Structure 1
Amino acid sequence: MKRRSLLTVASAATVMTLGGVGYAAHRRSRNPYYQGPKSDHFDGLRFHSPEQAADKDLSDIIRWQLSREGEAWPAQFPSPFPADKPPERVEALRVVLIGHASYLVQVAGRNILIDPVFAKRASPLRFAGPKRVNPPGIAYADLPPIDAVLITHNHYDHLDGPTVARLWQDHQPTILSPLGNDAILRGYDDTMAVETRDWGESLDLGQGLTVHLTPANHWSARGLNDRRMALWCAFVLTSEAGVHYHVGDTGLGDGAIFRAIAERFGPPRLATLPIGAYEPRWFMQPQHMNPEDAVAALKLLGAGQALGHHWGTFRLTDEGVERPAEALDAALDAAGVPRERFLALRPGQVWMPG
């Protein structure tokens, strides 16, 4: 295959990882994932958020791809932290970044994976698309018994179908996703049991631990013609260890979603927030926060501690591999927030409350 063709395939895979779409996304008249009653965020075919920006169309995709002047990434960006070997159980709270937006959260004696991606590429293609530049911060074989898997949405950098299927066969965890994603997951293993919930709904995981689904300013797509046909969400975990608010992807919007969290649950003890995949801003702003936005979200939440993810593992957008961490420090300094209150995590890095 010629180099130009390879680049075209790689760019297409990158766009699909982010849920790339075009006008074809609006041609399907039936939702293949979810058939349910209309609501204030579901019109019978597609989901939408209260602040839903106008969908990018094919011309926007082409404009971005043709004008890309992004900073190149290194082939390898190893973490300074060794791969973690977590304990079997933790009663309090222990959080480890596996990479990109994948976490192991150990709390209340439960082991929870959020958006576990162990694949070499965050892509629908095995041979093209964003390639991992560092190994997972926990080797799959070193995972403790997994009790629950939480999926925020269906973009390929968050929903790694083969990994979730493997987890199902190995651990039989409770799998929780927003509406419609169960159909996608069962496409990888039709024996998989998946719990689905809508925004505002919850699931009791036992031991006093409850997971609540809340809105995010984002969207979904697995291909070119299923845009917003499965729901997306953020998660709030409540337990005796406190409130943990986790966002896979979101734009800041007017800040309403963050104010709502603080009003409903109180200021979180911990917020895990995305800080990467934000350039160019004209394209990414509605769906991805930059570090300055993430600091604004931290202040709206009143969270005691924040951890930053969604950077440094898969190159999805135009900023350099180290720019999110650098920009986060600058944004914290400008806002008068101590740097230790918001850490840009690297794979294998462990956080526990002091």
Structure 2
Amino acid sequence: MKRRSFLKFSALAALFGVGASGTAMAVARNSNPYHSGPLSDHFDGVRFFNPDGAEPKGFSDLLKWKFGGNQASWPRSVKSPFAPARPEPRVEGDRLRITMVGHATMLIQTAGLNILTDPVWSDRASPLSFAGPKRVTAPGIAFEDLPDIDLVLLSHNHYDHLDLVTLARLRLAHNPLVITPLGNDAIIKSHVPTMRVMTGDWGQSIKSGPATVHFEPCHHWSARGVNDRSMALWAAFVLETPGGKILHIGDTGFDNGRPYRNARERHGSFRAAILPVGAYEPRWFMKDQHQNPDEAIDGFLLSGAEFALGHHWGTFQLTDEGRDAPAEVLQARLAEKGVSRDRFRPLHVGEAWEHPLTA
């Protein structure tokens, strides 16, 4: 394997937590450097897991995919007609405005709060600065144009969601509070020791100002490098605000709809659901970690949300489908299922959506 191809493969292996990278963290197999705590129905003392869920794929499966797959060709660069966005300094009261920055990075504005999800402004979603999935569309909001950021919701530690370089920039520019599942604080603090971080387990909550953040289960896993798979927890979030509740999922497999049923049973209705719709091909490899657009619609309907916004597509090429396939498939499936396109929109980079009843 040529050196450049090997580096790209190593970065992708680290991204999916099934291989090694020269810069990845190596840990003992029977110890957890991120978290220690009591056993639970999803923590065995060393690793977290999905109760009654599917195990992550292994290294041989990654090899089978990468050397026997059929990856679509993406453009090297795409300019979004919506970017760069110029967000308002604050969105007060019951108004709800959500702007797509790119991939899983969203700016949520409501109740006077500015909240970022899984912030990534780096050029690559990779442990390497020179190899791995490269951004094809510039961030929808220039970093310098961000309003004052109060909170960061960080769903898990994969490189396309936890970007230490961006977190360090946010610490210096905004000093936000990072809310993240168990174990991710150790990863953040090792690189940004002065970052304000609070962690929680599934079923727990953290209150910050007028909002309460609830940690909810989803079907995924975590890894930063060699042997640390699933040693930090992953989660969906329910953001409870004076104007209502918002469901945000960074990554999940559909898991027979359990993440959505559980959220609805615990929280009732949602003003909006922010759901992943991309990085789903080939299905035999991705099904247990990434839902496809059809499953995202089913999850939206199960959640009972008024509206849904699709993310996790069009920025980094992680999997086999084409860049625009998630949006195209989503819109076709909405028509087939009789769901209005206005109710579930795959947001483009830089595009802002405002809840129609408060716009």
Q: TM-score, normalised by structure 1?
A: 0.96
Give the Cα–Cα distance (whole angstroms) in 2 for the partners of residues 51 and 320 of structure 1. Answer: 32
Structure 1 position 10 matched with structure 2 position 18: no
Using the TM superposition, give the Cα deviation of residue 273 of structure 1 relative to its aligned residue in structure 2, in angstroms.
0.3
Distance, in Å, in 2 between the alignment partners of 1:74 and 1:53 is: 33
**Does residue 142 of structure 2 align to residue 144 of structure 1?**
no
Contact persistence 1:177–1:197 (CA under 8 A)? yes
1:197 match = 200
Question: Does the residue aligned with 2:191 lie in a helix, a strand or coil?
Answer: coil
Task: Give the distance between the partners of 1:168 and 1:113, measured in 2 at CA.
Answer: 13
1:187-226 superposed matches below 5 A: 187-207=190-210, 209-226=211-228
SS at match of 1:187: helix
Secondary structure of 2:237 counterpart: strand
Structure 2: how far apart are the matches of 1:26 and 1:216? Answer: 25
Kindly indicate whether the alpha-carbon contact (under 8 Å) linking 2:212 and 2:240 is maintained by their aligned counterparts in 1. Answer: yes
Instruction: Please name the residue that 1:295 is paired with.
Output: 297
Q: Which residue of 2 aligns with 1:44?
A: 45
Percent identity (aligned): 52
Tell me which moved more, 82-91 or 209-218: 82-91
2:179 alignment counterpart? 176
SS at 1:343 equivalent: strand
Residues 1:274 and 2:276 aligned together: yes
| 2:33 match | 32
Asked if structure 2 preserves the Cα contact closer than 8 Å seen for 1:51 and 1:253, the reply is: no
State the 1:249 CA deviation.
0.3
State the distance in 1 between where 2:117 and 2:27 align. Answer: 30
Measured against aligned partners, the alpha-carbon deviations of 1:70-96 in whole angstroms (never above 9, x if no partner) come to 111000122121211111111121110
Deviations 1:157-215 (A, max 9, x none): 000111111111221111111000000001211222210111111111112x1111101
8 A contact 1:41–1:47 mirrored in 2: yes
Match in the other structure for 2:260: 258
Structure 1 position 17, deviation (Å): 1.9
Rounded to whole Å, the distance in 1 between the matches of 2:259 and 2:70 is 32
1:128 match: 131
Q: In structure 1, give the amino acid aligned to 2:237.
A: F
Structure 1 position 325, deviation (Å): 0.6
Q: Report the counterpart of residue 347 of structure 1 in structure 2.
A: 349
Name the CA distance, whole Å, in 2 between partners of 1:339 and 1:82: 22
Displacement, 1:336? 1.0
1:81 aligned partner: 82
- CA separation of 1:10 and 1:165: change in aligned 2, threshold 3 A: same
Shift of 1:25: 8.9
Structure 2 unaligned residues grouped into runs of 5+: none
Q: Which of 167, 170, 181 is 1:167 aligned to?
A: 170
> What is the CA–CA distance in structure 2 between the aligned matches of 1:51 and 1:152, rounded to whole Å?
21
Gaps of 5+ in 1: none
Distance 1:154 1:82 in 2: 27
Q: Deviations over 1:15-34 (max 9, x none)?
A: 32233348x99961100000
| CA–CA separation in structure 2 for the residues paired with 1:102 and 1:141 | 15
1:12 alignment partner, SS class: helix
- Find the counterpart in structure 2 of residue 236 from structure 1: 238
Q: CA deviation at 1:247?
A: 0.4
| Corresponding residue number in structure 2 for 1:323 | 325
What RMSD in Å do the two structures reach over aligned CA positions?
1.5
Spell out, residue by residue over 1:137-166, the C-alpha distance to the aligned partner (whole angstroms, 9 max, x if none).
000000111111110000000001111111
Residue 247 of structure 2 is matched in structure 1 by: 245
What is the deviation of 1:269? 1.1
Extract structure 1 runs of 4+ deviating beyond 4 A.
Answer: 24-27
Distance 1:341 1:15 in 2: 36
The worse-fitting range, judged by mean Cα deviation, of 225-234 and 170-179 is: 170-179
Aligned residues: 350
Q: Tell me the TM-score normalised to structure 2 length.
A: 0.95
* 8 Å CA contact retained: 2:34, 2:231: yes
2: distance between equivalents of 1:332 and 1:26? 45
Deviation digits for residues 273-295 of structure 1, max 9, x if unmatched? 00000000000001100000001
* Contact in 2 for aligned 1:97/1:348 (Cα 8 Å): yes
